[in-house]
């Protein structure tokens, strides 16, 4: 598979088959992704591969907390405090497209909550990847980490696996760190669902739009 093909094929998958992911594939993915670039070769990534009983216990605690009314709080600001165009419209389009595909009305708060809660189960994928970073690192390492996470997703695509990067999981760092034994000297950046795509699931049938190259590029000669 060409890199360009993997870039186009990759998408955020929100429904998975009840099929275990081979450990050798997970190792191969991370072995490829570790070659991602980082400033002065700091390699700030720390990865927790969570599955089986540990995943069930963890996701049950997070989902129960969420449904109990605690919306959690990430250890860093992912989104802007005030939205502006064109980002506001893109954000709305993304959410509405999923709800429209699933037939969830804007007034149906119960189904919206259920769909959001699926985030905390990594959409029932067999594997949940959690990405940590030393708390001493700064903004440049966030950039490095983005390249690493993209490398993970592309390598997973090559292995015939699907993914969904999830900032939402970072809303509950205390629960996750306590359960997995990570200390306060680390930051939970995000999670990722990993598994085999359920290609018959309705939620996987839509694709978000992308801007054309000329809309975000200027050429200077």
Q: Where are the chain's structural domains?
A: 3-78+121-201
Average pLDDT over residues 9-16: 97
| Residue with the two structure tokens 């990430």 | 74
3-state secondary structure (DSSP) of residue 186: strand
Segment (H or E) for 127: strand 127-134
The answer to whether residues 134 and 192 touch, using CB atoms and an 8 Å cutoff, is no
- Statement: residue 40 has pLDDT above 90: yes
3-78+121-201 maps to which CATH number? 3.40.109.10
Count, in order, helices (H) and strands (E) of the chain: 8, 4
pTM of the model: 0.95
For residue 176, the model assigns a pLDDT of: 98
Query: Once rounded to an integer, what is the mean pLDDT over residues 121-128?
Result: 98
Q: What is the DSSP letter of 155?
A: H
- Average pLDDT, stretch 14-43? 98
Helices (H), the chain: 3-9, 23-33, 52-67, 87-102, 109-117, 139-158, 173-180, 213-216
Which tokens hold the place of 212?
């054309």
User: What crossing angle do the helices spanning 173-180 and 52-67 adopt, rounded to 10°?
Assistant: 150
Read off the pLDDT band of 70 (50, 70, 90): very high
pLDDT at 106: 85
């Amino acid at each position: 598979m060409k890199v360009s093909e993997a870039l186009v094929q990759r998408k955020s998958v929100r429904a998975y088959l009840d099929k275990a992911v081979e450990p050798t594939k997970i190792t191969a993915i991370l072995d490829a992704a570790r070659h991602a670039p980082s400033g002065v070769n700091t390699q700030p990534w720390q990865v927790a591969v969570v599955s089986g009983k540990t995943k069930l216990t963890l996701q049950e605690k997070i989902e129960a907390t969420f449904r109990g009314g605690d919306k959690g709080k990430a250890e860093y600001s992912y989104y802007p405090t005030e939205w502006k165009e064109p980002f506001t419209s893109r954000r709305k389009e993304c959410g509405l497209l999923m709800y429209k595909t699933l037939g969830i009305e804007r007034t149906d708060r119960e189904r919206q909550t259920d769909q959001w809660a699926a985030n905390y189960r990594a959409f029932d994928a067999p594997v949940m990847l959690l990405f940590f970073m030393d708390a001493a690192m700064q903004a440049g390492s966030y950039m490095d980490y983005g390249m690493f996470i993209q490398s993970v997703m592309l390598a997973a695509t090559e292995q015939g696996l699907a993914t969904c990067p999830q900032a939402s999981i970072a809303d509950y760092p205390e629960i996750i760190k306590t359960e997995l034994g990570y200390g306060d000297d680390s930051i939970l950046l995000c999670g990722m669902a990993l598994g085999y795509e359920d290609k018959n699931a309705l939620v996987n049938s839509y694709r978000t739009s992308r801007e054309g190259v000329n809309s975000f590029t200027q050429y200077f000669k």
